[in-house]
Each structure stands twice: as C-alpha cells, then as structure tokens.
C-alpha cells in the first residue's frame, strides 16, 4: 500500500467513494494493528471529502471511548444510548442526522458540526465494538450514498 490517496478532484461524492473504497480496503488488508488502520481510515475520509470531523468511538464496558480520529479535539466518553453515537450503538443502526440541533440529546463536541452520520461496526456475533462518526459543518450533508459506502467500510471491519 502506498501512503498517499489517489482521488480525482471535482468528482461527485458517489464517484469519490467509488475511487476511495478500494483504497480503504487495501489499508485494512495491509495492516493488522487496529489503531493504525482506524487512524488512517479517519484521515482518508477527512482528506477525501473535507469533513469537519471523522473518527471512531470504541465500546469499553457501558460507554464509548474516543478512538482514532481526525479533526478538532472531541469528547472522550459517551454513555450507551446517549447522543447520536450512543443511540447508533444502542439501536444498532446507522443514524443520519440532517440537523444536529433537532436531535434530542445531541452531544455538541463542536459548535461547527451541523449534520452527522454514525455507523455501527460489528463483531462476528453482530455486537457493536465501535462506531464511525462523521461530522459535517454543512446541514443535511449525508444521504444514502454515504450510508451505503460507510456501511461497506464497516463490513470490512467486522472482527
Ligand atoms: N455528536 C456526537 C458526539 C461525538 S462528536 O461530535 C465528535 C454525538 O452526539 O454522539
């Protein structure tokens, strides 16, 4: 694996994902250390799309603890069922929040975040071991295009 991304500028998001996903899979296959992989996946997603914040929260007991991320400093612990991340975990579903101010209990790590998508990542039993959180400084920035691509990524991270 090279340590650079090949992304053609000016493509729409779907085309960018089409170009990016095989490179993300190559990163996953090339490195067995989980933290190293999650760190580079965060960097790649942020670099490709310019998102405000991209990162992973890892399940530790009854809470999520901040893992590898790219972007401004963030809250370190989120309880089960709290905020968008804790709700994606407790409901075991991908959540797209078009307007974070309209989401009851949203945890505002950064005032710049306007919309977000959170995707659970499973183990082989179907239990959540982490969530991927992608935050945008634009309202309504996420669609099924992001859901499909990021759920594909999550499927490659089943452990
Ligand atoms: N907004 C998230 C918290 C994590 S940060 O935005 C990085 C939430 O409500 O779960």
Ligand 1 centre and the CA of 74: distance in Å?
8
Ligand 1 center–CA 39 separation, angstroms: 18
CA of 71 to the centre of ligand 1 (A): 12
Distance CA 84, CA 86 (A): 6
Query: How many Cβ atoms from other residues are within 10 Å of residue 141's Cβ?
Result: 20
Over the chain (159 residues), the average pLDDT of each successive run of 10 is 84 96 97 97 97 98 98 97 97 97 89 96 96 98 98 96
pLDDT value for 110: 87
Contact criterion met (CB below 8 Å) for 123 and 129: yes
Q: Residue 120: its pLDDT value, please?
A: 98
Q: Which residue in 88, 129, 130, 122 sits closest to 105, CA to CA?
A: 88
Domain ranges of the chain: 13-156
* pTM > 0.75: yes or no: yes
For residue 61, the model assigns a pLDDT of 97
CATH code 3.30.450.40 for 13-156: yes
Q: Ligand 1 within 6 A of 109 CB? A: yes
Q: How many other CB atoms sit within 10 Å of the CB of residue 34?
A: 17
């Amino acid at each position: 694996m090279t340590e650079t991304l090949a992304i053609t500028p000016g493509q729409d998001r779907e085309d960018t994902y089409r170009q990016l996903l095989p490179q993300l899979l190559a990163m996953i296959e090339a490195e067995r250390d989980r933290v190293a992989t999650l760190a580079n996946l965060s960097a790649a997603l942020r670099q490709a799309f310019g998102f405000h914040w991209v990162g992973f929260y890892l399940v530790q007991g009854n809470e999520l603890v901040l893992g590898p991320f790219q972007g401004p400093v963030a809250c370190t612990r989120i309880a089960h069922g709290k905020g968008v991340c804790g709700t994606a975990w407790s409901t075991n579903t991908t959540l797209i929040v078009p307007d974070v101010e309209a989401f009851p209990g949203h945890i505002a790590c950064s005032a710049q975040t306007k919309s977000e998508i959170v995707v659970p990542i499973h183990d082989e039993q179907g239990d959540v071991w982490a969530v991927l959180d992608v935050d945008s400084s634009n309202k309504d920035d996420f669609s099924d295009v992001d859901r499909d691509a990021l759920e594909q990524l999550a499927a490659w991270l089943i452990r």
